Amino acid sequence: MPGPGVCCVIGAGDATGSAVSRRFAKEGYTVCAARRTLAAIKPLIDQITFDGGRAVAFELDARREDQVVRFFDRVEAEIGPIEVVVFNVGGNVRFPVLETTASKYFKVWEMCALAGFLTGREAARVMLARGRGTLLFTGATASLRGAAGFAAFAGGKAALRALAQSMAKELGPRGLHVAHVVIDGLIDTAFARTHFAQRVAEAGPQGILSPDHIAEAYWWLHRQPRDAWTFELDLRPSVEAW
């Protein structure tokens, strides 16, 4: 496998996105971390730099085609060849069906599905020229099944899964490893500990997903040999009911 190049993390949030960014930076990859605002990425960039890695912050709304195209063009021209792209944009919102406006539903679809398509298409555009690359999509429980209050989120995540599967079948024979990761459980974040404190307490330390452990799975997927690629990987705590 070629030496470290660039790892782009679209949706480099405070939990999974940051952990994946740190994991690839640890291996010598230059991390291009993208979020809606530069201020939100600064702590991650500072941490990677402090640890001896290299990271560059990008302000990006992944729902906007012109911004996504410009992002990939700029990274390739100014930073280096993109070897890994991680699409980690969220969209986990809860609304009863009768309170889900067309605007809310469309926004969630844009975040989960349209942004994933734009990211995947542009990643493929630059990677196919070299005949290699890894494209990882972050999914959720909602990727596989709907639930009360999650019509919009499930619709967006199910669409993202179908996109990833279609891309894997089309691009795998051409050298691109496309994988979809189902995160089936609560991730250990400040948000979770604040808004789901009782659930976190009941689950205990083994009942909530560690972002760093999720990142290890992403790294493992990237390192798989071409004769044994995984398309879909599901991660959940041992006590999670499924």
What strands lie across the sheet with 30-35, from one edge to the other? 54-59, 30-35, 6-10, 82-87, 133-140, 176-183, 232-235
The structural domains of the chain, ordered by start, are 6-234 (3.40.50.720)
* pLDDT digits 0-9 by tens, 79-105: 999 999 999 998 888 889 999 999 999
Residues of the chain falling short of pLDDT 70: 1-3
The token pair at 87 is 């699409």
State residue 92's pLDDT score: 83
State residue 2's pLDDT score: 46
State residue 203's pLDDT score: 80
State residue 3's pLDDT score: 53
* pLDDT digits 0-9 by tens, 63-76: 999 999 999 999 99
Q: Indicate the average pLDDT of the chain.
A: 94
Q: Which residue has the tokens 């009911």?
A: 241
Residue length of the chain: 242
CA distance 7 to 221: 14
Q: What is the SS3 assignment for 71?
A: helix
Q: How many CB atoms lie within 10 A of CB 103?
A: 8
